[in-house]
Amino acid sequence: MRMTDVIERKRDGKALTGEEIKALVKGYTEDSIPDYQMSAFLMAVYYEGMSDEEVAALTDAMATSGETLDYASLGNKTVDKHSTGGVGDKTTFVVAPLAASCGIIVPKMSGRGLGHTGGTIDKLEAIPGFKTDATKEEFNTLLKTYGMAVVGQTQDLAPADKKIYALRDVTATVESLPLIASSVMSKKIAAGAKGIVLDVKVGSGAFMKSADEARKLASTMVSIGEALGRKTIALLTNMDQPLGYTIGNLLEVEEAIDTLKGEGPEDVTELSVQLVARMLMCTDESITFDKAYETVKAKLLSGEALEKFISYSESRGADRALFSSFSSLYEGVETIDLYPEQEGYIHRFDTQGIGRAAMWLGAGRADKTSQIDPAVGLKLLKKSGDFVSTDTPWVRLYVRKGTSCEDTKRLLQECIELGAAAPDTLPLIIDTVTA
C-alpha cells in the first residue's frame, strides 16, 4: 500500500477498505508513516468525511492498536457510561454505584480535566486518601467485589488514538465528526464493556453547541458501537447551564453524595436515573424503559447505591467517616456571594464561561501542568428561569482566604443574561439515539 495513493483517494472522496485503514493506523502507530503524511490524510477526512463502514474500521484499528480488556468471565452485564464533557457533570459518582446496585457491572476508565470541563479523576482525588490508579488484577477484583471500578486511564489502551489526537490538535483537524466519534469510541471499545451508554452534551457548555450537531455525532457513535458488537444508546442532554448547582472538585463529590442520599438536585438525579435505565436496557433487551426507570429509581431511594459508593471509596483508601460531613475539607476557604447587576429572569448562562471562572479560582487546569485546588469552586444559587433581584445572590464563590478574585467576578457577571419575562428552556433530555 502506498500512502500517497490512500491520501489521494480520500482527498477525492473515495472510500477506503478496512484493510487499508488498519494498515494506515498500524503504520502511523509504529512510526513507519510520518506525521506529514498522516496530517494530509486527516485533512482529507476533515473535508471529505467518511462512510459509516470507514469510521467503524478506523475505530476498530485504533481500539486494537494496544491492549484490550475482556470481561467474558463476567457475562454480558458490563456497561460503560461516557459523557462528552460539560460543566458540573458529576453523574459518574451517582451512575456507577447506582448501576452496580442494579446488577450492572461498570468498568470505567476516566481522565483528568483540562480547560472549562472537570475531570472525573480529579474529583475523586479531592477525597483524601482516594487511590485512582489500579493494576489490571486490582481492576478486575474491584469489578467482582463491588460491581464497579472507576480508575485513571491507562496509556496502554488505544495508543493510536492518543498519537493521532495529538496530531489533530496541531493540524486544525480536531473538529471532524468522523475523527471525534472514532476517538471517543476507540477507547470505549478497547475498554471492553459489552454495552455503552453515551451522554452527548448540547449547548453553551458543551463541545457540540447545537442539537443537530450533537445528533449527528451521537448517531455516528451509536453506529460504530453496534458495528463493533456493542449495544450502544446515546442521550442528547442539555448543557446550556451547569448540571446541578456546584462546579468544583470537592463541591461536586459532595453534591453527588447528596444525590445518592435522595437529596440532590433534580437535574442530577433525573439524568443519573435516565442513564442507568438505559444501561439496564443494554443488559436486557426485553425490559421496557418505563420498567427500567422504575427499577433504578427504587434502588436510588433504597440507599443501596449510597452504601455501594461509600464501601467502594473505603476500599480505595477513603475514610468512611468523611462521608457524613465534608466540612473539615474546606479549611482555609471562604465564600463570596455575587449579586446580579439588575433584576429579571435568568434567560441564559454562558456555561463555558462559568466553567472557565471555576478554573481561574483553581478548580481546573489552564494547561496540563496546572495544579488543582480541590476545595475551591462555585455554587449556583439560581438556575435558568429563576427570577433574581439586586439583593438576591445568584452564585457563591469558594476561594482561598486572601485570594483576589476580581477578574473572576467580572467574568461571572458576563456569564448571566436576564430578561423581563420568564424564558422558554430546553428539556434536560433532548433526544434518545439508538440503532
Is 80 designated active site? no
Q: Point out the catalytic residue in the list 80, 161, 240, 373.
A: 161
Active-site hit among 81, 82, 215, 382: 82
Gap between the Cα atoms of 380 and 337, Å rounded = 10
CB count in 10 Å sphere of residue 219: 18
Cell of 391: 439583593
- Catalytic (active site) residue 168: yes
Tell me the C-alpha distance between 96 and 61, whole Å.
Answer: 28
- Interatomic CA distance for residues 61 and 24, integer angstroms: 9
Number of C-beta neighbours around residue 134 at 10 A: 18
Which residues 6+ apart lie within 8 Å of 66 measured at CB? 156, 157, 158, 159, 160, 190
The residue among 1, 142, 11, 152 whose CA lies nearest residue 74 is 142
Residue of 77, 108, 168, 278 marked catalytic: 168
CA–CA separation, 103 and 414 (whole Å): 45
Q: Is residue 183 annotated as a catalytic residue, yes or no?
A: yes
Q: Which of 22, 187, 316, 356 is catalytic?
A: 187
Is 424 considered catalytic here? no
199 in active site: no
**Whether the Cβ atoms of residue 355 and residue 364 lie closer than 8 Å to each other:** yes
Measured distance CA(317)–CA(131) in Å, rounded: 6
Active site residues: 82, 161, 168, 183, 187
